[in-house]
Structure 1
């Protein structure tokens, strides 16, 4: 794309008083600069509206609709500016305008689990991307994740494993889930869940987390044991720093937990702060 430069060749001040405009004064410039922006608009801004309809992109279109002026070089370009003139000192002609750059927020999170990956990208302020993963689940089953001890070590798996329910015995999740988060803003990463339920029966769920690719795990583990959702903050990140988190889950296997299917949900969430 060719670069182009805008030249300010003159300025015209229109003063209004009591609702009536005074006579226009243009100094020695008899004919105010008037520029047909058609070619420039077609050459450089043909795709200007290409992303207006994007779900995750928020535009700030601040246009002076009251009086855009007769000397706006690109009539159709959305802009918001306030020109300032400096105080005169001796003999000087000077125009100062404020320059502002609006960098939209970018927030991306990717969840990888058993046989599936789900990604969400949020473009721009106020864009909230929420979705439910399809094709894979967080499953606790003796045939898949098998049994774990208190220290998260496997005790084996199978259809008819001869392991007794009791204190310190758990059924592990079908996979260790990996989460990646990246943003150009400071962000918080958290996990929200409640106990799994079977009617009025509650099945607590334990989660341990690592933020260094599994080299170490955060102290202890988080317990989702109530009927109401609980939120656990895992990580606070700064702009430009990528988070790579791992999560391992388990549920207790003991005589106080009734046999049967339990259901629930878990939400992995990244929020700019």
Structure 2
């Protein structure tokens, strides 16, 4: 595409440069060579062209219906001023050329959490900027994230915290509240994709994960939560306003701490994604 644009630019530059140097290199004869002698010679279509050139525009004849015959001017209503303006006005020449601008789409997503930052930027169409955060993770651990109740309120944390598992209402929280910022010059949809964590030392065991979201910097949290039990995509927000407006989302995660949950190490991933629409 860039080559085509440069080629078009070169053509336009040469055309305008040629005009500036008064050197025409097109396909037309310049100046036009046209022999009109055959038209004005004997037998030509304009052989009688010079006749009547000295007429005064007045014809004398007798009006048989009038008692007072007079002079009749045939051209009294003719006005050629608009056609033969001595000041050169009322004429125009122009060349019209279509002009277009193609602004590429810019889309950026920045993830922050656990003292780490990762940014993915997509420049232009069909550009899939996908990357893995390195150096930090979303960790569910009783010493870091601690224990949470049903309302996401901390119950405490520690290596051997004396908090009993329960069928419901007791969870282990993520190591941090993760923030996501999205900005674009186009409309976009922001979503979070994840699935239940899979046990690495107990084949077949899975651990569901919960996520809650705030879209006003934590002032309020959306009611309820999203549960990742199988692979699923949660559409968090859709933006179709003015270009350049930033979307900010906070996410808090937790996993259940129950007697029916197998002890051990679980693994999975969370994908934070923005896509133009």
Match of 1:234 in 2: 236
2:245 equivalent to 1:244: no
Q: Cα 1:91–1:130, aligned 2, differ >3 Å: closer, same or farther?
A: same
1:256, distance to aligned residue in structure 2 (A) = 1.2
2:98 equivalent to 1:98: yes
Unmatched runs of 5 consecutive residues or more in structure 1: 15-23, 31-89
Match of 2:268 in 1: 264
CA distance in 2, matches of 1:126, 1:250: 35
Q: Cα 1:105–1:29, aligned 2, differ >3 Å: closer, same or farther?
A: farther
Q: For the Cα contact (< 8 Å) 1:109–1:121, is it kept in 2?
A: yes
- Listed as ranges, the matches of 1:104-253 within 5 Å are 104-166=104-166, 167-198=168-199, 199-226=203-230, 229-238=231-240, 239-253=243-257
Large movers: runs of 4+ above 4 Å: 5-8, 10-14
1:11, distance to aligned residue in structure 2 (A) = 10
CA distance in 1, matches of 2:149, 2:32: 88
Match of 2:28 in 1: 25
Q: CA RMSD in A?
A: 2.3
Match of 1:38 in 2: none
1:27, distance to aligned residue in structure 2 (A) = 3.9
**Structure in which a larger fraction of residues adopt helix:** 2
Q: Rg: which structure is higher?
A: 2
SS in 2 for 1:97: coil
- Listed as ranges, the matches of 1:31-110 within 5 Å are 92-110=92-110
1:13, distance to aligned residue in structure 2 (A) = 9.5
CA distance in 1, matches of 2:232, 2:257: 22
CA distances 1:156-201 after superposition (whole Å, capped 9, x unpaired): 0000011110010000000000100000000100000000011211
